[in-house]
Amino acid sequence: MKTRKIWFSIAAITMIIIGSCDSGHEKKPEKKEKEFIVHHEFDADSAYHFVEKQVAFGPRVPGSQAHENCRIYLTAKLSDYADKAIVQPFKARVFNGTIMNGYNIIGSFDTLNTKRILLCAHWDSRPFADYDPDPEKHNQAIDGANDGASGVGVLLEAARQFKIRKPGIGVDIIFFDLEDYGEPSGDQFSGKPDTWGLGSQYWSRNPHKPGYTARFGMLLDMVGNEEATFLMEGFSMEYAPKIVRKVWTIAGRIGFSNYFLFKDGGYITDDHYYINKITGIPTINIIHLTDKSPNGSFFNEWHTISDNMAVIDRKTLQVVGLTVLNTVYNE
Ligand code: AHN
Ligand code: ZN
């Protein structure tokens, strides 16, 4: 009798082991693909309106009244849409040695969630039209409708959407200041490094929350031109190749493969470069790059006084907005 009992026990244990091995195979977590749900809501007119509002203040050159008025406007909008909004003031030495006041504007959703995504754009506009075809205009400030306001406009509309439908993950939207105060090209060009992205350099060294981190970041720059092409920018591919491929794949999946091209672009020293280098958060740049422009890799009106509302196209704002929203909602 005893031996029969032992035999039963051995058989039972063996069955349990085989059984658990089997279910272990089926439950391999990396094999379980999350179902992709397409998010359709993004109001292009609303995004366009947010771009228009910024441009209407006049060039948002740091130190100017327009800059201050726009800061108040953007802070109010983020306070309205996000769970928490703050302004991070800082001082930075610009290329000519002057110390200037800058303000990063930050809106956070689901503030206690430790899983986070960072979305960013720069809100200042360039004080010099140093690439204008007319040399007389090289010292004029630009509207920066595309270079600056477009990315902020798309993210404000994204914020408005996040208030309607919660992202399901923590999100921080940062509008960086003093991105575009880089040393102007010209006769006395010294080639000083790191004169661009002063707001992102400051934030990367002094994040709004100590020890802040995120799964990944997406920077939007020049996302408003008609039929814009988003090439795979060099630093993004160096620091965050998986995120580039993830986002480009999502863009293709929702019908925007004509905009997001699986084609290498050049290396652009932009806010994402400092975020990657200083914080280690893998961050990509969704930036209009082309090889057709007379200005090299940027859009035709880049750093000219013609970077105004006339270059903004609702469809492109929509394409970028939906790509960003679908990436966030499916994370
Ligand atoms: C350089 O041209 C080195 N960086 C460009 C970054 C930029 C300027 N983004 C918008 N305006
Ligand atoms: Zn610029």
Is residue 310's pLDDT more than 70? Answer: yes
Which residue minimizes the CA distance to atom 3 of ligand 1? 269
Please tell me the predicted confidence (pLDDT) of residue 86. 98
Does residue 137 contact residue 307 with C-beta atoms inside 8 Å?
no
How much is the pLDDT for 185? Answer: 84
Of 233, 268, 274, 275, the residue with max ligand 1 atoms within 8 A of its CB, to mutate for a pocket test, comes to 268
The answer, yes or no, to whether any atom of ligand 1 lies below 6 A from the CB of 180, is yes
Model confidence pLDDT, tens digit, residues 245-301? 999 999 999 999 999 999 999 999 999 999 999 999 999 999 999 976 555 589 999
Radius of gyration in angstroms for the set of CA atoms belonging to the chain, rounded to a whole number: 24
User: Using one digit for the tens of pLDDT, what is the confidence trace for 110-141?
Assistant: 999 999 999 999 999 999 999 999 999 999 99
Neighbours of 6 (CB within 10 A): 10
- Quick one: pLDDT at residue 4? 52
Per-residue confidence at 49, pLDDT binned at 50, 70, 90?
very high
Give the mean pLDDT of 160-181: 98
Q: HSE (CB half, 13 Å, CA atoms) of 223?
A: 31
Q: Assign residue 191 a region: left if phi > 0, alpha if psi is -120 to 50, beta otherwise? A: left
pLDDT of residue 294: 54
Whole-model pTM above 0.85?
yes
The model's pLDDT over 146-166, given as tens digits with 9 standing for 90+, comes to 999 999 999 999 999 999 999
Q: What's the pLDDT tens digit per position in 18-36?
A: 444 444 455 566 667 789 9
Expressed in angstroms and rounded, the spacing between residue 146 Cα and the centre of ligand 2 is 9
Which ligand is the nearest neighbour of the Cα of 126?
2
Phi, psi of 84 (to 5 degrees): -150, 135
CB of 268 sitting under 6 A from ligand 1: yes
**Residue 3 pLDDT greater than 60, yes or no:** no
Ligand 1 atom with the shortest distance to the CA of 222 = 10
Query: pLDDT at residue 7 above 60?
Result: no
**The pLDDT value given to residue 64:** 98
- φ/ψ of residue 117, rounded to 5: -125, 140
For ligand 1, whether the C-beta of 196 sits within 6 Å is: yes
Percent of all residues in the chain with a pLDDT value above 70, rounded to a whole number: 89
From 270, 286, 303, give the residue whose CB has the most ligand 1 atoms within 8 Å, as the site to mutate: 270
Residues 222-230: what's their mean pLDDT? Answer: 97
From residue 280, give the alpha-carbon distance in Å to each of 114, 211, 215, 242, 275. 16, 11, 10, 14, 7
- Per CATH, the number for 39-329 is 3.40.630.10
Query: CA 168 from chain center: how many Å?
Result: 18
d(CA 132, ligand 2 centre) in Å: 12
pLDDT at residue number 31:
64
CA of 83 to the centre of ligand 2 (A): 30
Identify the residue with better confidence: 9 or 287: 287
Please list the alpha-helical segments (H only) found in the chain. Answer: 2-26, 44-56, 65-81, 150-164, 198-205, 234-239, 241-253, 271-274, 314-329
Q: Closest Cα to atom 11, ligand 1: which residue?
A: 180
